[in-house]
Amino acid sequence: MSLTISSGPLSGHAPETVNYRIDGPAHKLLMHEFPRRVRAVLGGQTVVDTTRAMLLHETGLRPQVYVPLDDIRADLIQPTDHHTYCPFKGTASYWTVTAGGQVAENAIWAYPEPNEESSWLKGYAGFYWNAMDEWYDEDERVEGHLRDPYHRVDVRRSSRPVRVLLGDVVLAETTRPLLLSETGLPNRFYIPAADVRQDLLEESDTHTICPYKGTASYWTVNADGRKLADAVWSYPQAEGDAAAVSGYLSFLHDGLTVEVGQPG
């Protein structure tokens, strides 16, 4: 994400604070090797197993994994009549996957005759991530999508006072937040659960998966006669570099005010 989104060098709005200019189209492509084994499973059968995967970075888009067509189980895929056109890559052909009694229609695409400027796409195919039941990075199951090597998460202890309000109602107040910085995203303060008015929160059925932080649970704020759906989230068991925010809560909603002061 850092290359193609926000102020990354391949984004649509690259920063001015550089001493170079990239001579190229407004929509840029960068493909490079993914350094580990990648597998995808549908209906209990392995559809692709490769140590030759590539990541395609494309302006404004999340990196997309591409795999050699030769590493896809040919007996599990059938070409379809579906085609799409990309002005930057060419005309895509599609395949449906049938495995273990399951069918994933038009789940795979490739550019048999890519544009000259992206000729290195020839022989590679992309997958719609959610069309497969399981993905593996080496032997670890991946949720969400493969991690971008240019994306990082940093968590730091802070003594800045943070207060979250709904109107005049204080929902949370702390002088011991954690500050999470994540590539391409605004900083987020995470607040200890003990410093949050839990009586003003209602547990939600919503859950989201972040490949860098883990699975998030959500709460709806119910205070001052108002309900703000899924305005609060937490990672009960945060993963990787985000592990420190496990059990902490963060707030985001247009109806909330988050005040950040200076340390005393």
Together in a domain, 218 and 195: yes
Residue ranges making up the domain that contains 115? 29-141
Together in a domain, 41 and 120: yes
Q: What percent of the chain has pLDDT over 90?
A: 83
- The H or E element spanning position 110 is strand 102-110
Residue 218 forms part of a structural domain: yes
Decide if 72 contacts 43 (C-beta within 8 A).
Answer: no
Together in a domain, 111 and 186: no
Together in a domain, 113 and 168: no
Residue 1 forms part of a structural domain: no
Residue 246 binned pLDDT confidence (cut-offs 50, 70, 90): very high
Report the pLDDT value the prediction gives residue 15, as an integer from 0 to 100: 76
Angle at 104 (CA atoms; ends 124, 44), nearest 5 degrees: 90
Q: For residue 137, what is the domain's CATH number? A: 2.170.150.40
Q: Which residues of 28-37 are buried (b: 16+ CB within 10 A; e: fewer)?
A: bbebeebeee
What digits encode the pLDDT tens for the residues 156-178?
A: 999 999 999 999 999 999 999 99
Tokens 């990787």 -> residue: 240
Residue 9 forms part of a structural domain: no
Q: Are strands 124-127 and 188-190 parallel, antiparallel or unpaired?
A: unpaired
Residue 150 binned pLDDT confidence (cut-offs 50, 70, 90): confident
Together in a domain, 73 and 118: yes
Rounded to whole angstroms, the Cα distance separating 126 from 140 reads: 20
Together in a domain, 124 and 191: no
Together in a domain, 68 and 131: yes
Together in a domain, 43 and 135: yes
- Choose one of 141, 174, 193: the last residue of a domain: 141
Q: What percent of the chain has pLDDT over 70?
A: 99
Of 68, 44, 208, 57, residue with least CA distance to 127:
68
Q: What mean pLDDT value characterizes the chain?
A: 94
- Choose one of 141, 175, 210: the last residue of a domain: 141
Q: How many structural domains compose the chain? A: 2
Together in a domain, 165 and 117: no
- Choose one of 141, 170, 194: the last residue of a domain: 141
The whole-model pTM stands at 0.82
- Across residues 195-222, what is the average pLDDT? 97
For residue 203, pLDDT beyond 80: yes
Residue 238 forms part of a structural domain: yes
Rounded to whole angstroms, the Cα distance separating 128 from 86 reads: 16
Residue 182 binned pLDDT confidence (cut-offs 50, 70, 90): very high
Together in a domain, 134 and 157: no
Report the pLDDT value the prediction gives residue 169, as an integer from 0 to 100: 97
Residue 149 binned pLDDT confidence (cut-offs 50, 70, 90): confident
Together in a domain, 103 and 206: no
